[in-house]
């Protein structure tokens, strides 16, 4: 029957523990010195502890190495994922900053464009108002001129009617005084025409 290394180490650990347990128990009748250091008990306890630690390291060495290797792989994998996510986050931040600056520039352009449009609209309104005022002024001047012509025509007609009436009365009345009155009438007509 062949023993594997693990089984041999296990049996050796049990043997050392049994020897140290057997060596640690003394006779009940031994004299004890309360101030003496029990070197022999400490030696066997140290041997037990050493054997136990050697056994733990021997039996768990491969699993500890595997656990730490797996942990290292997980850490490296997570570190790589973190680097990728960091690059993506930096790219997203740069994109957001670019868009923000474009929006700010666009906002400024929009404000300037709105100011220009408002200025042009104001100038157009002022121009339209001035044109309307000029047209109203010309229309008013034309109406005033027409009314003035109409009033002159009515005055001329009234003077002419009165002149005809006065002339016919004078013709029917005195002919000598008529020539003086005719001269006077002709002067009045000339003044009205002017």
1 pLDDT exceeds 50? Answer: no
pLDDT tens-digit map of 94-128: 999 998 888 888 888 888 888 899 899 999 999 99
Q: Which residues contact 55 (CB under 8 A, 6 or more apart)?
A: 9, 10, 13
Q: Which domain holds residue 185?
A: 145-193
**Percent of the chain whose predicted confidence (pLDDT) is above 90:** 28
Q: Indicate the number of domains in the chain.
A: 1
Q: How confident is the model at residue 49 (pLDDT cuts 50, 70, 90)?
A: very high
pLDDT tens-digit map of 164-183: 787 777 766 655 565 677 77
Task: Tell me whether residue 186 is in a domain.
Answer: yes
80 pLDDT exceeds 90? Answer: yes
Task: Tell me whether residue 184 is in a domain.
Answer: yes
Which range is least confidently modeled, 13-22, 32-41, 52-61, 137-146?
13-22
Task: Tell me whether residue 98 is in a domain.
Answer: no
Task: Tell me whether residue 179 is in a domain.
Answer: yes
Mean pLDDT for the chain overall: 81
57 pLDDT exceeds 70? Answer: yes
- Residue 148, burial from CB neighbour count under 10 angstroms (0-12, 13-18, 19+): exposed
Task: Tell me whether residue 112 is in a domain.
Answer: no
| Entry field: residues in the chain | 194
Q: Which residues contact 44 (CB under 8 A, 6 or more apart)?
A: 19, 20, 23, 24
- The whole-number average pLDDT for the span 45-56 is 90
- The whole-number average pLDDT for the span 2-29 is 65
Task: Tell me whether residue 156 is in a domain.
Answer: yes
Task: Tell me whether residue 189 is in a domain.
Answer: yes
Task: Tell me whether residue 76 is in a domain.
Answer: no
Q: Tell me the DSSP string of the chain.
A: -PPPHHHHHHHHHHHHHHHHHHHH---TT----TTS--HHHHHHHHHHHHHHHHHHHHHHHHHHHHHHHHHHHHHHHHHHHHHHHHHHHHHHHHHHHHHHHHHHHHHHHHHHHHHHHHHHHHHHHHHHHHHHHHHHHHHHHHHHHHHHHHHHHHHHHHHHHHHHHHHHHHHHS-SHHHHHHHHHHHHHHHHHH-
pLDDT of residue 88: 92
């Amino acid at each position: 029957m062949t023993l594997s290394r693990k089984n041999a180490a296990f049996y050796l650990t049990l043997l050392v523990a049994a020897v140290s347990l057997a060596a640690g128990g003394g006779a009940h009748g031994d004299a004890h010195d309360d101030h003496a250091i029990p070197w022999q008990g400490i030696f066997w306890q140290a041997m037990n502890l050493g054997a136990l630690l050697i056994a733990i390291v021997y039996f768990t060495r491969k699993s500890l190495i595997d656990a730490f290797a797996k942990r290292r792989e997980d850490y490296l994998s997570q570190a790589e994922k973190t680097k990728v996510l960091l690059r993506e986050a930096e790219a997203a931040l740069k994109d957001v900053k670019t868009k923000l600056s474009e929006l700010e520039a666009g906002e400024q352009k929009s404000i300037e464009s709105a100011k220009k449009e408002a200025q042009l609209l104001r100038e157009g309104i002022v121009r339209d108002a001035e044109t309307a005022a000029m047209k109203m002024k010309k229309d008013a001047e034309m109406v005033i001129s027409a009314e003035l012509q109409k009033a002159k025509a009515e005055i001329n007609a009234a003077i002419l009617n009165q002149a005809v009436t006065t002339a016919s009365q004078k013709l029917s009345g005195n002919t000598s005084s008529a020539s003086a009155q005719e001269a006077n009438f002709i002067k009045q007509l000339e003044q009205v025409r002017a």
